Amino acid sequence: MRFSTLVAALLPVGAALAQTTHTIKVGENGTLTYNPSSITANNGDTIEFQFLSKNHTVTQSTFASPCSNITDATGTVTGVDSGYQAVAADASSFPVWSITVNNASTPLWFYCRQAKHCQAGMVFAVNPTQDKTFDAFKTKAATSTAVDGSADASSGAAAGASGSGSAAAGGSAASTAAAGGASPATGTAAAGASGSTPSPSASTTGAPNGAGIVRAGASAGLLTLVGLSFGLLL
């Protein structure tokens, strides 16, 4: 009886510690999509992005400015960003980048920085709400004038923007990035991923996947140029 009581008492603890890995396919079958495009996640859950074609990013934004980077008052990018992940047509291995959810009470919004992919509907949401739905986010993205994460002329920059939850990222390079949220986080980013300045919300590190390790900072500008050059082919 005592043993049964002890087991029953421990079950809620085990349930609370349970974590889920959500797999998101990026550019599956050459499409401009994240599949699935919206998920519900809990604190501690990992979201793993598998880059399957072309050259895409997973970049954090806000509901108000779907296709713009989150930046601070100085213009420094503070949202998590996978960086451009180019995939050859005959690739047999694929980049993987992941984030860990730290504040499931607030939605997280993401998009692809490549060309006009965001406006074409390449957006992703974690824990959207009844007031801020995924469909509304996608509709806003379609009218955005932002290019490669720039400020949207119609809504202004996403600097200091609120409404972004807490996440952390995952793969092998020692880069760090962050997003506007409430609690600290850690994670990993895939090879070739670029990070940003750390913030209280998230951080990125990554492991190579058939490519060399690229660190954040000076490399970020190079990755942007490489990404844009690949974009001409898309």
- Residue 230 predicted with pLDDT over 60: no
- Residue 35 predicted with pLDDT over 90: yes
Residue 128: predicted pLDDT: 98
Interval 87-116: pLDDT, tens? 999 999 999 999 999 999 999 999 999 999
- Residue 204 predicted with pLDDT over 90: no
Structure-model confidence comparison of residues 199 and 150, the more confident one: 150
CA separation for the pair 209, 188 (Å, rounded):
13
CA separation for the pair 204, 176 (Å, rounded):
4
Q: Is residue 185 a contact partner of residue 201, using CB atoms and an 8 Å limit?
A: yes
- Residue 74 predicted with pLDDT over 70: yes
Instruction: Tell me which of 59-73, 94-108, 129-143, 216-230 is least confident.
Output: 216-230
> What is the residue type of 79?
G
- Residue 152 predicted with pLDDT over 70: yes
- Residue 60 predicted with pLDDT over 70: yes
Sequence-distant (≥ 6) Cβ neighbours of residue 136 within 8 angstroms: 63
pTM, entire model: 0.69
Q: What percent of the chain has pLDDT over 70?
A: 58
Q: Which two tokens stand for residue 111?
A: 């998009």
Residue 155: predicted pLDDT: 52
Residue linked to tokens 């942007």: 224
> What is the residue type of 50?
Q
| Average pLDDT of span 8-18 | 52
